Chain A
Amino acid sequence: MRLFLGQRAWVLQRVTALMLLILLALGAATLLTGPSRSYESWHALATSTHGAVLIVVFFAALCLHGWIGVRDIVLDYIHAPTLRLPLLALIAVILFAIFIRVVLTMAAHFAGGA
C-alpha cells in the first residue's frame, strides 16, 4: 500500500483550496450585503439548510486541506519513522475529531432551529 500519495494529494490540496476560497468569498459577500450582523441574522443563516450544509462543507475542506499541508511539513522535517507515523496519526485523529465536533454542533442547532 502506498501510504503517502503523490498527485492525488496535490490535486486534493488545490481542490480544497478552491472550495475554501469560494466559500470565504461567499461568506464575505453575505457579511457585507446582509441585512445586519446581529445574532438573529447569523443564527437564521447558519441553521438554514444551505447555510448549515455550506458550513459543514467548509470545515470538511478546511480539515482535508490542513491535513495535506501538515503532512507535507512532517514529511519535510521529521524523518524518524518512530516519531513520524504516530505524529501523523495523532494529527489525523485530532482533525477528524474537530470535524465531527462541527457536524454535531450543526446537527444540534439545525434540529433546534428547525
Chain B
Amino acid sequence: MRARSASAPKFLNLSQVRFPVGAIASIGHRVSGVLLLVSLPLLALALDRSLRSKSEFDALRDLVSEPWRALLLVILVWAAAHHVLAGVRHLLMDIGVGSRLSQARTSAWAAILAAGIIALAAAVRWLS
C-alpha cells in the first residue's frame, strides 16, 4: 500500500485546473504580498532619505521621471492596492461578512478589478 502510493503518479498540473475567481484573488494576494515584502527595504531606505534634506526629498518625488522606475512603482501600486483590497475582503469574511459563495465571488472580482484600475490610473499618470 505504502510502496504503491510512493511511486504512484499524481495529477497536479495547475494549467489544467480551472480556478474559480476566489483562487485568482488569493494567489494575487500572495504574489502582491511577496512584492511588497521585497520592496520593504526600499521603503525603509526611502523613509531615511526623505527626512535627510530637501534635495533628497525632492529626488524621491522625481523618481517617476525615469520610465523603468515608474514602471516598478506602478507594479508596487498594484501590489499595495490588491493586497489591501483582498486583505479587507478576507478580514470581513473572517467575521462572517460576505462569506457566502456568491458574495465571495463578487468581492473577489471587485478586488481584482479595482486593483487593476488603480494600477492603470498610476500607469497613465506616470508613464504617459
Contact = CB atoms under 8 A, between A and B. Distances in A.
Chain A in direct contact with chain B (Cβ < 8 angstroms):
yes
Given A21-B84, A24-B84, A39-B57, A47 B51 contact: yes
A69 B47 contact: no
A70 interface: yes
Contacts of B74: none
Q: Secondary structure of the B side of the interface?
A: helix
Contacts of B84: 21, 24
A88 to B, nearest CB: 14
B54 A17 contact: no
Contacts of A40: 54
A111 to B, nearest CB: 12
Interface residues of A, number: 26
B94 A14 contact: yes
Given A18-B91, A24-B84, A98 B40 contact: yes
Given A24-B84, A39-B50, A43-B51, 20 more contacts: A14-B91, A14-B94, A17-B91, A21-B84, A39-B54, A42-B51, A42-B57, A43-B57, A46-B50, A55-B47, A63-B40, A66-B36, A69-B30, A69-B37, A73-B34, A98-B41, A101-B44, A105-B47, A105-B51, A109-B51
